């Protein structure tokens, strides 16, 4: 796999050595059991896969290259390059500015941007409408386009099946930048509809079968279907693609549910004429990180700490998985660990930041799950681990533990 030129301060010493050991032992990535790092009074369970993925490293390399190559120009990002505050704050400190926030609200008026400026497309991609707007200003996005290649692959699949008269069902969050971009690209080729989960897929089938009033469909799915979408005509042939940071297992569940619906309608022998196979659009990194989290949860632990941006979709799904099994703390930085007793963390369901006391169990041999989202630097996970080690006076030195780990 390609090696990217990522700033050294995003790299780590502890995490990098552990990942390298696992790569050497399991080059085909078939073992999803956690790496257990034993410091004596505290044990860390690290996911087999976590941290920067291919798409994120690609985006980071291109963004820093844009800054380096254009020292005297205004440099803009359409929105946050990735959903991680550490990376975005560093880019801002180097003079880069965001045109929109993650909700699509304008931060800089389009009239302020001209053909002499540099505009970077974030890893999520952008809509056809925004691309045309910038092209009309003679701004070429191709040079510094950081769109993840796995997002582009989803667009190509949607285009391909749309050309063959399939309508596109997009599993995603309709306000997320990536889903907006995918929706924009897909509806050029075919009628398109966004659903967020299996419940909405079941609701959709009820509308198709007439179990729910047709008029209600247009209200319930407002802003989630393409212009001119016809419930009766446009769902006879369908294919499912996804926002790449959604739970892969949930996308598969939705796809299988809708496939079964089509089979019941048209029979096992004919369903392929009405249901497109889109399994090859699932993002490998999201899939592997989620499988690694399931592997983590198979080993008993006391608490889980997940590191990443609070608006990161892929990180939030890791949090959701961990919360099913044990107390979980979602933090953006090591600085959120305020003391041995107190941690400040994000409650994803409530969308608020809270402080929890006595988060570390008062016991011998504390076992902590530690993982991060695909947009979180390994260096930040290092800092979280080091911060937690401060609370265990008898912990073995890091060098000794890493040496023992490498000899296993």
Active-site annotation holder among 57, 177, 178, 288: 178
* Exposure string over 293-321, b if 16+ CB within 10 A, otherwise e: bebbbeeebbbbbbbbbbbbbbbbbbbbb
Give the full edge-to-edge strand order of the sheet including 167-171: 192-195, 167-171, 238-242, 275-276
H or E stretch covering 276: strand 275-276
Alpha-carbon gap, residue 142 to 122, rounded angstroms:
12
Our answer to whether residue 288 is catalytic in this structure is: no
Per the CB < 8 A criterion, the answer to whether 257 and 198 are in contact is yes
Per the CB < 8 A criterion, the answer to whether 170 and 179 are in contact is yes
How many residues in total does the chain contain?
A: 408
Per the CB < 8 A criterion, the answer to whether 33 and 295 are in contact is yes
Q: How many CB atoms lie within 10 A of CB 39?
A: 19
Sequential DSSP letters for 285-332: HHHHHHHHHHHHHTS--SEEEEES-TT-HHHHHHHHHHHTTS-EEEES
Per the CB < 8 A criterion, the answer to whether 36 and 298 are in contact is no
Alpha-carbon gap, residue 180 to 78, rounded angstroms:
13
For the annotated catalytic residues, the residue numbers are 178
């Amino acid at each position: 796999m390609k090696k990217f030129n990522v700033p050294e301060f995003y790299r780590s010493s502890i995490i990098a050595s552990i990942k390298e050991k696992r790569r050497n032992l399991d080059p085909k990535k078939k073992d999803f059991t956690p790496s257990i790092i034993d410091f004596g009074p505290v044990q860390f369970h690290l996911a087999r896969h976590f941290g920067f993925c291919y798409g994120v490293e690609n985006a980071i390399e291109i963004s820093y290259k844009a800054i380096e190559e254009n020292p005297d120009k205004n440099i803009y990002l359409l929105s946050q390059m990735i959903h991680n505050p550490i990376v975005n704050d560093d880019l801002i400190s180097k003079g880069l500015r965001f045109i929109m926030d993650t909700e699509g609200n304008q931060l800089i008026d389009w009239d302020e941007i001209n053909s002499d400026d540099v505009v970077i497309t974030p890893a999520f991609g952008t809509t056809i409408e925004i691309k045309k707007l910038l092209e009309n200003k003679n701004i070429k996005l191709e040079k510094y386009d950081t769109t993840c290649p796995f997002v582009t692959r989803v667009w190509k699949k949607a285009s391909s099946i749309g050309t063959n008269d399939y309508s596109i069902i997009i599993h995603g969050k309709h306000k997320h930048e990536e889903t907006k971009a995918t929706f924009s690209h897909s509806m050029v080729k075919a009628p398109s509809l966004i659903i967020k989960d299996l419940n909405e897929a079941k609701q959709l089938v009820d509308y198709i079968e007439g179990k729910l009033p047709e008029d209600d469909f247009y209200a319930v799915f407002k802003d989630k279907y393409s212009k001119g979408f016809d419930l009766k005509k446009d769902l006879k042939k369908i294919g499912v693609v996804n926002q790449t940071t959604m739970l892969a297992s949930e996308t598969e569940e939705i796809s299988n549910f809708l496939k079964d619906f089509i089979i019941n309608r048209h029979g096992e022998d004919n369903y392929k004429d009405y249901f497109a196979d889109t399994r090859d659009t699932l993002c490998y990194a999201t899939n592997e990180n989620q499988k690694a989290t399931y592997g983590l949860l198979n080993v008993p632990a006391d608490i889980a700490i997940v590191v990443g941006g609070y608006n990161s979709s892929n990180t939030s799904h890791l949090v959701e998985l961990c919360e099913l099994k044990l107390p979980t703390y979602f933090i953006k930085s090591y600085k959120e660990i305020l003391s041995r007793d107190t941690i400040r963390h994000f409650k994803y369901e409530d969308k608020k930041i809270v402080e929890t006391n006595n988060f570390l169990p008062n016991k011998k041999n504390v076992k902590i799950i530690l993982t991060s989202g695909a947009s979180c630097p390994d260096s930040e996970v290092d800092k979280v681990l080091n911060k937690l080690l401060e609370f265990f006076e008898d912990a073995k030195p890091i060098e000794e533990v890493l040496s023992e780990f490498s000899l296993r």
